[in-house]
């Protein structure tokens, strides 16, 4: 990667943070020069359409750029503007989001789109306070939208920028803490070059993605290493300070696929709680005292009134959430006559294999559906 040489400047325009003082002008000019030669070509950067900037920022929350790009392209093909998503069925929205996780983001996009259509003519308002009031948009995202879409003088301190500032100023607060967030926001605000926030904030993001990496940062290619307190002190490997690890709980669950005349019995998850309103294959938690096979038979009998016959394994899938991991046992089953009449409706239905592709499922259940298709395709 070609890196623009940092032009040494007199130490004027100084910025002081956490008892560290550096030349703000030197840092700004070094970053902007580097960004001019090394910026990433991302689709929402072509014209900085406010709607596209907004969607990209929501998708990038807790998601890598390379992971979200295919989702972004499919989203724009289906929902090119706020009115198109405001009037779309929620199932269509969730299906396009499937696999990105944190489905509240997609629901908040649709809620915000409806507000944009009703109150702002379908356009993102050019006002920080109004943008921040939209569902799913906090201080950082509002700053990013104002900065990237309108080149407004607002900081946009994402995780990459936070890591850079933690190293530049040797910030010792644990990442994820309120003190860390405020220190980063303060640094981003003080260093922001007026009239060039779009370039500066994106330079921070790209430097964090390409050079100032979380592991093994390439400090020899950094245009501002001369300004970096952590680099000078040999502390880049321990900045930012890691937050205490959360205890991760493992949950064992079981789900069953019942086929009837080429259709599969599915149900919709509750409107509140984990992954609300997504479709799933009926199942539940497996107590420690019994096997997954015993658990799924008990669940189907008690909840659906169906006494299951022999079970055929469709495999075991793993799925990680923020604070827990799920081990999901899947079975293909036959059912005897229901112990009571099975009622279908908005939250319980039979769906063809083709219909399953149009509905949104948790990632683990989508893998079960794939395993089912593969099994049915066998001789």
Q: Which residues are catalytic?
A: 57
HSE at residue 257, side-chain half, CA atoms within 13 A, is 29
Q: What are the beta bridge partners of residue 255?
A: 283, 330
Exposed / middle / buried, residue 42 (Cβ in 10 Å: 0-12, 13-18, 19+): middle
HSE at residue 78, side-chain half, CA atoms within 13 A, is 18
Exposed / middle / buried, residue 269 (Cβ in 10 Å: 0-12, 13-18, 19+): middle
Burial 135-146, CB ≥16 within 10 A → b, else e: ebbeebbbbbbb
- Provide the 3-class DSSP secondary structure of residue 177: coil
Q: What's the CA gap between 198 and 121, in Å, rounded? A: 25
Q: What's the CA gap between 58 and 42, in Å, rounded? A: 15
Q: What's the CA gap between 39 and 27, in Å, rounded? A: 17
């Amino acid at each position: 990667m070609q890196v623009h040489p940092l032009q040494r400047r007199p130490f004027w325009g100084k910025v002081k943070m956490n008892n560290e003082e550096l030349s703000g002008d030197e840092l700004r000019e070094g970053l902007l020069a580097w960004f001019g030669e090394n910026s990433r070509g991302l689709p929402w950067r072509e014209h900085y359409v406010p709607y596209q900037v907004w969607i990209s920022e929501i998708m990038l929350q807790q998601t890598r750029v390379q992971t979200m790009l295919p989702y972004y392209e499919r989203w724009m093909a289906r929902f090119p503007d706020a009115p198109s998503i405001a009037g779309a069925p929620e199932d269509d929205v969730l299906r396009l989001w499937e696999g990105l996780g944190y489905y509240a983001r997609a629901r908040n996009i649709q809620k915000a789109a409806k507000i944009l259509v009703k109150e702002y003519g379908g356009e993102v308002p050019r006002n920080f306070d109004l943008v921040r009031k939209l569902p799913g948009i906090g201080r950082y995202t509002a700053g990013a939208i104002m900065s990237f879409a309108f080149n407004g003088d607002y900081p946009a301190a994402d995780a990459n920028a936070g890591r850079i500032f933690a190293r530049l100023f040797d910030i010792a607060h644990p990442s994820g803490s309120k003190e860390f967030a405020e220190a980063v926001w303060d640094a981003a605000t003080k260093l922001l070059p007026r009239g060039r926030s779009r370039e500066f904030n994106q330079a921070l993001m790209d430097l964090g993605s390409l050079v100032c990496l979380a592991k093994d940062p390439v400090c020899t290619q950094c245009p501002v290493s001369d300004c970096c307190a952590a680099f000078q002190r040999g502390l880049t490997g321990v900045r930012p300070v890691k937050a205490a690890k959360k205890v991760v709980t493992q949950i064992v669950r079981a789900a069953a696929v019942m086929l009837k005349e080429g259709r599969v019995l599915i149900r919709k998850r509750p409107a509140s709680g984990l992954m609300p309103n997504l479709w799933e294959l009926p199942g539940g938690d497996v107590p420690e005292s019994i096997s997954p096979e015993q658990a799924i038979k008990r669940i189907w009998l008690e909840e659906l009134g169906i006494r299951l016959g022999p079970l055929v394994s469709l495999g075991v899938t793993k799925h990680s959430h923020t604070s827990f991991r799920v081990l999901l046992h899947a079975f293909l089953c036959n059912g005897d006559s229901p112990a009571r009449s099975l009622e279908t409706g908005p939250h319980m239905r039979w769906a063809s294999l083709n219909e399953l592709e149009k509905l949104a499922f948790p990632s683990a259940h989508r893998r079960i559906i794939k395993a089912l298709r593969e099994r049915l395709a066998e001789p």
